[in-house]
Amino acid sequence: MRLCKNAFRKLSLLLVLCSCFLAVPAQDSLYTKQIIKKLTSKEFLGRGYLNNGLDKASKYIASELKRWEAQPLFGTGYFQWFDFNVNTFPGKMEVKINGKKLKPGEDFIVSPESGSLKGSFLPGKKDSITYTSRQGEIPLVISLQRKLTFSVAHSAEPYCAIELLNKNQYVDIKTADVNIENKVLTKYINKNICAFIPGKINNDSVIVFTAHYDHLGGMGKTTYFPGANDNASGVSMLLNLVKYYGKNPPKYKTIFVFFAGEEAGLLGSKYFVEQNTIDLTKIKFLLNLDLLGTGDEGITVVNATEFKSQFDLIKKINDEKHYLPLVKPRGKAQNSDHYWFTEKGVPCFFIYTMGGIKAYHDIYDKAETLPLTKYKQIFKLITDFIESV
């Protein structure tokens, strides 16, 4: 009987320990989803230039850095300020085609460089997908698109361009009623967010992790672009890395930079590099993370051909531990914030996931549909790679 009791106690203890180990990644997953849900909420309105969405997001990220005791990179705190002009759409966002009212974001978007326009128009067909009208001082351009993809412009042009989702219902456009309001914000204040964790062995050389936290903002008073995959996923990965290295001190001083202005032309990272914010020659390696919410088909590594030995290393780790189905090499590209560092000779990769959902720069890039398919495996691959570097 005593033997049975002892065996039962051992089994109970084993089950408790197992549940503890299982709880760790579950809690990390909960934290990840919490971050992404917060960053994609209506409160931040697409982390852009309406309703102070970008500013609210920066304060939230800074509060998380403080929570995990990451140190500010600057004597003044976590923020590095810079500014640029941006065209916004804070007011009316109304379009009717052939008398039917359309839904912004779902049925149409405005081109980001568009100016204000109000009136009723009789568009003429220019080609199979384009209609134009010059009834007023400002021309109206209507185009049919297979996908609605929004972006950011720095100024307004003397026309208004509307993109319609082509569902084959527009056999001919007879009438267009438009009420669009734009406003150019001059010298809009943006903030890069910068923190670090001291190295336990070496604080002269540094490891740098980067991700942009800005997105596209809104279009009118209610429509906004959540930006879950692009790039709440990368922000959440950086915050998870801050949390991890806070509990597991890194060998090298490790810097975390959350860039603004990426969607507006990589402006935050450009400013960071041009200002010599840190000594770039001391960077041992930099990882820029974006679009990390899928991974069904693995990841792509930009700059793989520029830094071949480091790519061989990350691929070797993945081949041995089977984290991802594919680590695909790609050459140099000016497609995210790593670019300006590459131009200065800093060894760096830009990593993004492949496969899964196709939502991008639209209203459907939402937290609730982001699968995070290989998120944990990417986290492990990143930490293993940095440890090996």
Ordered DSSP codes for 4-52 = HHHHHHHHHHHHHHHHHHHHHHHHHHHHHHHHHHHHTSGGGTTTSSSTT
Secondary structure (H, E, C), 279-337: CHHHEEEEEEECCCCCCCCCEEEECCCCCHHHHHHHHHHHHHHCCCCCEEEECCCCCCC
Q: What is this structure's pTM?
A: 0.92
Q: Answer left, alpha or beta for residue 21, where phi above 0 means left and psi between -120 and 50 means alpha.
A: alpha
pLDDT at position 7 is 47
From the options 3.40.50.300, 3.30.1490.190, 1.20.1090.10, 3.40.630.10, give the CATH code of 28-87+186-388: 3.40.630.10
Exposed/middle/buried for residue 330 (C-beta within 10 Å: 0-12, 13-18, 19+): middle
Question: What is the C-alpha separation between 370 and 388, in angstroms, rounded?
Answer: 30
Count, residues in the chain: 389
Locate the domains of the chain by residue range. Answer: 28-87+186-388, 92-180
Question: What is the C-alpha separation between 86 and 154, in angstroms, rounded?
Answer: 4
Q: What is the pLDDT along the chain (389 residues), one digit of tens a residue?
A: 433 445 444 444 444 344 443 333 433 799 999 999 999 999 999 999 999 999 999 999 999 999 999 999 999 999 999 999 999 999 999 999 999 999 999 999 999 999 999 999 999 999 999 999 988 789 999 999 999 999 999 999 999 999 999 987 888 999 999 999 999 999 999 999 999 999 999 999 999 999 999 999 999 999 999 999 999 999 999 999 999 999 999 999 999 999 999 999 999 999 999 999 999 999 999 999 999 999 999 999 999 999 999 999 999 999 999 999 999 999 999 999 999 999 999 999 999 999 999 999 999 999 999 999 999 999 999 999 999 99
Q: Enter the tokens of residue 79.
A: 């923020």
pLDDT at position 264 is 98
Question: What is the C-alpha separation between 143 and 129, in angstroms, rounded?
Answer: 5
pLDDT at position 168 is 79
pLDDT at position 302 is 98
pLDDT at position 169 is 82
Tokens 């070797």 sit on residue: 316
